[in-house]
A and B are shown apart, each in its own frame.
Chain A
């Protein structure tokens, strides 16, 4: 069986290979940090969560089966960790999330702002980030997780279902509710009925 490079690296990690771990860390750090950031809405907390998630990934590497996609396994670890931390009350979603944070606020992360500030669009990139951040803050944790994996990581519903340990029908419903909520907020913002940085 031909194994993809992620899977091969993960099997080495399971055998205690820290070089393989560093390789996977470099390759997937951005995805996990982005996911954690969308989850908690704060770059410093997102970085803490990202490090915790990778440490957990290393500790649970023995549980990885090469039949599963590595990214699905990684996001299962990430989702469980974020949900647990939220339940423990360690983190609260930053309700005034403003999307891409300023570089000086980004802690260990280098987070460039959106490159899509297009004057021809009714919403600037920053306004869009802000609106999405606010809309995500209003979602349930599972809706937020499903939406983030779908919209920002391009994961298929089947893989999201595996990561969330849910049925595909449940994921379809989570993603629909979340996407519709974000859509309604953007619509209201464009119509000028909701200020970009207002609380929900």
Chain B
């Protein structure tokens, strides 16, 4: 059966325990032969790992080129797209176009409320001029041009 302290032995060997914790483990090691054996085994193993790590891969120039080519093939991120849009070469002409558009909207907006009198449709202008007469026609229920002519010339018929 293993001791509760066994879990701490690797951290102890690695020097990763805080001083009070380390002191507790040391006190336990003084009295537990099984933990002493385990601690020795761990210490030897950790030391031997230094030989294993002599294995050192290094990048070849072609590996670096491949990775850089993959970066070039990446779709631009929103940050890159934003940066591209904010470049002076793009930003200045774009601002010019935007300013012209805003100006055009303002000019059209200001002038667009009431068209000049000469821009009116002639038919509509005539109706407007004779609005009172048109309303009378509608009250009378007249719609043919003959009836309208009669109404227009009522005064010639000697009506009171």
Q: Which residues of A contact B (CB under 8 A)?
A: 16, 18, 21-22, 25-26, 29-30, 33-34, 37, 43, 46-47, 51, 54-55, 58-59, 62, 99-100, 106, 108-116, 125, 128-129, 132, 150-152, 156-157, 172-173, 175-176, 179-180, 182-184, 186-187
Contact = CB atoms under 8 A, between A and B. Distances in A.
Most chain A Cβ neighbours within 10 Å, of B14, B44, B52, B57: B57
B74 A29 contact: no
7 contacts: A16-B83, A62-B77, A108-B60, A109-B57, A125-B51, A132-B49, A172-B16
B66 interface: yes
Contact of B42 (A114, A125, A180): A180
Given A108-B60, A173-B7, A16 B55 contact: no
B16 A152 contact: no
A109 B72 CA distance: 22
Would you call the interface of chain A mostly helix, strand, loop, or mixed? Answer: helix
B94 to A, nearest CB: 21
Given A55-B71, A175-B10, A116 B41 contact: no
Nearest 5 A/B pairs, CB to CB: A116-B51, A183-B45, A176-B10, A109-B57, A29-B59
Contact of B51 (A58, A128, A182, A187): A128
A176 B7 contact: yes
B3 interface: no
Interface of B: 7-11, 14, 16, 38, 41-42, 44-46, 48-49, 51-60, 62-64, 66-68, 70-71, 74, 77, 79-80, 83
Contacts of A33: 57, 59
B57 A176 contact: no
A26 B63 CA distance: 10
B67 A54 contact: yes
Contacts of A51: 63, 66-67, 70
B68 A18 contact: yes
B48 A186 contact: yes
Nearest to B49: A151
Nearest to B76: A16
B45 A186 contact: yes
A59 B52 contact: no
Contacts of A55: 67, 70-71, 74
Nearest to B71: A58
Contacts of B56: 30, 34, 111-112
Given A180-B38, A180-B42, A29 B10 contact: no
Nearest to B62: A108
Given A16-B83, A18-B68, A99 B11 contact: no
A174 B112 CA distance: 76
Contacts of A152: 49, 52-53
A151 B57 CA distance: 16
A108 B63 contact: yes
A110 B59 CA distance: 7
Contacts of B64: 22, 25-26
A111 B45 contact: no
